[in-house]
A and B are shown apart, each in its own frame.
Chain A
Amino acid sequence: MLRPDEAGAGLVVGFSLFMPDVVPDRTVLYVSTGVPVFNLYLLGLVVMPQVTGEQRMADTYDFVQSLPVRLVSVNHVLPFESMAVTMRGSLTATPVSGVGQAYLMLLAWTTGCVALALWALGRRG
């Protein structure tokens, strides 16, 4: 599978080959930087929970979780682990703990993001 960083680098180089002498500078800037960043963001939202979910199902995540990482508690408030838990809960027949809490966390993030988007739109008038 293509790694996100490889995909990002490919986009930056590849798009410039498609449009050698077009468009205003601002568009070029957006295509070469904004689009890859946006794509990486979306890719990350899909890939990270998927990889985490796979590792949890295979129990390899246990080792990673058992490491003494200082910021491990941050992971509990970011949405990725909750995404992985809900994905795992929907894919496996075995009971998965913390699904309700994961949905609550995702609901909180969704609400926050919608509020942030509305606020940003409001500022634009």
Chain B
Amino acid sequence: MNSWALQVTDLRKVSGRGAVANDGISLRVEPGEVYGLLGPNGAGKSTLVKQVIGLLRPTSGQIALGPHDLVAAPHVARQLCCYLPQAQMPIDALRAAEAIELGGMIRGADRRTARERTRELLEALDLGEWRRTPGARLSGGVRRLVGFVMVAVHPGRVVILDEPTNDVDPLRRRLLWQQGRRLADDGSAVVLVTHNVLEAEKAVDRLAIVDRGRTWPRGRRRRSRQTAGTSCGCR
């Protein structure tokens, strides 16, 4: 067992009006693996990751990353977890490369490393032509990819990608999965949140199916294809 695994235990989140968003979710994500959270819209996936990164406080349950209790110390989650939200990044006033370098430096990379890594990732995702384009002029898909690069430029122990391929064309979608895999190979635990069964099938090592705030039987990719088909696709 690796000591930097993300461990969620019996997590429960009830909103002020009594709606149960997460109902006893438990999962473990090891460094070096891409873990999928698959489920329909409104299943509680985003609520789960917002608790992991300290944006929401759980009603009960534990979240641990290595030796750290992230419920008791959400500021540690901000240092150790990188998060790509579902919404577009607020980069209207910055050029793509500037936004990425700035993201890396805020996370602790020095300027030189951030610049080199930015160039490397922009080339890997075939985004070179938009390098100097202001964020406000980027198309939705390119902006999404720039958001991914902002997260990947200086990744933490855990990288959480909330539906990263929305609006992205199929070719670059494949490039993005490759880079997600590379983040895992470099030692991060990658959590991929999606409602797309095909994406989960191609990009993840293991997955949990989240529905109505609970996780359903999970397993490795081949087994989960069948599970996903019955649990999500046919609902």
Cross-interface CB contact of A59 among B17, B78, B85, B106, cutoff 8 Å? B85
Q: Are A66 and B81 in contact (CB under 8 A)?
A: yes
Is B9 part of the binding interface, using a Cβ–Cβ cutoff of 8 Å? no
Is A95 part of the binding interface, using a Cβ–Cβ cutoff of 8 Å? yes
Q: Are B15 and A97 in contact (CB under 8 A)?
A: yes
Expressed in whole angstroms, the Cα–Cα distance for A58 and B86 within the complex equals: 10
Cross-interface CB contact of B78 among A58, A60, A68, A97, cutoff 8 Å? A68
Q: Count of A-B contacts with CB under 8 A? A: 53
Query: What sequence of 0s and 1s flags, for each residue 68-92 of chain B, a beta carbon within 8 Å of any chain A beta carbon?
Result: 0000000100110111111111100
CB-nearest residue of chain A to B90: A60
Within 8 A of B (CB), among A85-114: 95, 97
Expressed in whole angstroms, the Cα–Cα distance for A2 and B78 within the complex equals: 33
Is B55 part of the binding interface, using a Cβ–Cβ cutoff of 8 Å? yes
Is A18 part of the binding interface, using a Cβ–Cβ cutoff of 8 Å? no
Q: Are A62 and B107 in contact (CB under 8 A)?
A: no
Expressed in whole angstroms, the Cα–Cα distance for A62 and B46 within the complex equals: 11
* Chain B interfacial positions (CB closer than 8 Å to A): 15-17, 19, 50, 53-55, 75, 78-79, 81-90, 106-108, 147
* Chain A interfacial positions (CB closer than 8 Å to B): 55, 58-60, 62-69, 72-73, 95, 97
